Amino acid sequence: MRGRHRFAIPFFRYLDEEGRPEDSLPLWTRDHDLLKAIYESMVLTRTFDQKAIALQRTGQLGTYPSTLGQEAIGTCIGLAMAAEDVLVPYYRDSAAQVLRGMGWEEILLYWGGDERGGNANIHSRDLPVCVPVATQLSQAAGVATAMTIKGHAGATVVTCGDGATSKGDFLEALNVAGVWHLPLVVVINNNQWAISVPLDQQTATASLAQKAIAAGIDGVQVDGNDAIAVYDALNNALEKARHNAQATLIEAVTYRLSDHTTADDASRYRSQDEVRKNWQHEPILRFRNFLHGLELWDVEQEQALLQNCQKTVDAGVDKYLAQKPEAPEAMIDYLYEFVPASLESQREAIIAKAASLNKNHQGA
């Protein structure tokens, strides 16, 4: 019966700011290898992030969106998902993409404007990065619907930012997820900003997770800088998706410590003081303190990890820089199986232009 109801959105956090458990921890935290894997992935993601920004600043990469401060989200998505699940990522999910099989060089190719970086098909059924805000949500609902119809076992995980929750696509995806009982997990990276729009100008709701209520699906809010809380929410939501065909909306509350992208200067619209305060909540130090508390981590392990991360990132960068650039018509060829007649002449023009530029270059 649809009658009078009261609703509440649960909030989960297990580690305090110093990395001390506030509550009894979920059972899976007894898996110490998993705890270390979470930490290692977050550190690797940050190492990559610094390098990607350096490459952009030196003209070797296009516009790049940093994941600084939001490493727990992509890491926990990547580690919690199973191979048969499908990831529908947006542009701050490189940690998840790499944990699911992409190479760092491919992440760089994508942000370097090379179509081969978007060709996630070679690894899995995951979709490539989505930049048009919120369009990935209805696509993910479509993927989850197809998986249901075809009887596939897995769940679909889709991610978006806080700004995306104001778009119709977001609400439409949640709505069908409820009505059609889709095995869908929607993760909001609530980093408090949508470029220069702060959350309080984005929405008047007390949380973003409560948008699930209107769609009749579960909504939970977690401290997005507490990897234990993020992983646990993912784990529970994936279980419900796979076994009960139930969708969940997870709001991971975090903070974008960087500019929106390398094309942005956030100091024009937010205070240094706000950023400084949020550094105190960032996820990596908190998790390292937690591992220290469990006596699972020491200074030598930390040094070895930093060295390994640097090596891994450098290897990815070397592979990226060694790639011969693709022909410019790849931008059309990668998009269509058959080139539409309306683009034929543009494609020919691109090829002719590239050939004449090449000739001039060689003649010079």
Residue 129 within binding range of Mg ion, rule CB under 5 A: no
Q: Can you tell me the distance from the alpha carbon of 20 to that of 174, in angstroms, rounded to the nearest whole number?
A: 35
| Smallest separation (angstroms) from ligand TPP to the CB of 195 | 5
Strand partners, 252: 189, 222
DSSP 130: B
Residue 127: which of ligand TPP, Mg ion, none does it interact with, CB under 5 to 8 A by kind? none
Binding test (CB under 6 A) with ligand TPP, winner from 85, 162, 218, 223:
162
Query: The tokens of 204 are what?
Result: 């008047």
Closest CA relative to residue 224, chosen from 249, 184, 196, 252: 252
Closest CA relative to residue 100, chosen from 28, 47, 41, 160: 41
The string of DSSP codes covering 211-252 is GGGGGTSEEEEEETT-HHHHHHHHHHHHHHHHHH---EEEEE
Is 256 an active-site residue?
yes
Residue 161 within binding range of ligand TPP, rule CB under 6 A: yes
Q: Which among 92, 100, 256, 286 is annotated as catalytic?
A: 256
Buried-exposed string 259-282: b where 16+ CB fall within 10 A, e elsewhere: bbbbebebeeeeeeeebeebeebb
Residue 178: which of Mg ion, ligand TPP, none does it interact with, CB under 5 to 8 A by kind? none
Indicate the residue whose CB is closest to Mg ion.
161
Is 269 an active-site residue?
yes
Is 181 an active-site residue?
no
* Residues 252-291 as x/- pattern, contact with ligand TPP by CB under 6 A: ----x---x-------------------------------
Pairing verdict, β 11-12 and 218-223: parallel
- Write the CB contacts of 249 (distance below 8 Å, at least 6 apart in sequence): 174, 186, 188, 208, 209, 211, 212, 215, 217, 218, 219, 220
DSSP 164: G
- Residue range at the interface with Mg ion (CB under 5 A); choices 70-78, 140-148, 188-196, 275-283: 188-196
Residue 41 within binding range of ligand TPP, rule CB under 6 A: no
| Smallest separation (angstroms) from Mg ion to the CB of 162 | 4
Residue 132: which of ligand TPP, Mg ion, none does it interact with, CB under 5 to 8 A by kind? ligand TPP
- By CB under 6 A, the count of residues binding ligand TPP is 16
Q: Of 63 and 289, which CB lies nearer to ligand TPP in the complex structure?
A: 63
Cβ–Cβ under 8 Å, residues 216 and 263: no
Residue 183 within binding range of ligand TPP, rule CB under 6 A: no
Q: Of 47 and 258, which CB lies nearer to Mg ion in the complex structure?
A: 258
| Smallest separation (angstroms) from ligand TPP to the CB of 325 | 25
Closest CA relative to residue 223, chosen from 2, 23, 52, 5: 23
- Residue range at the interface with Mg ion (CB under 5 A); choices 32-40, 159-167, 292-300, 341-349: 159-167
* Catalytic residue positions, numbered: 256, 260, 269
Q: Would you tell me which residues interact with Mg ion (CB under 5 A)?
A: 161-162, 191, 194
Q: Would you tell me which residues interact with ligand TPP (CB under 6 A)?
A: 92, 131-133, 160-164, 189, 191, 193-195, 256, 260
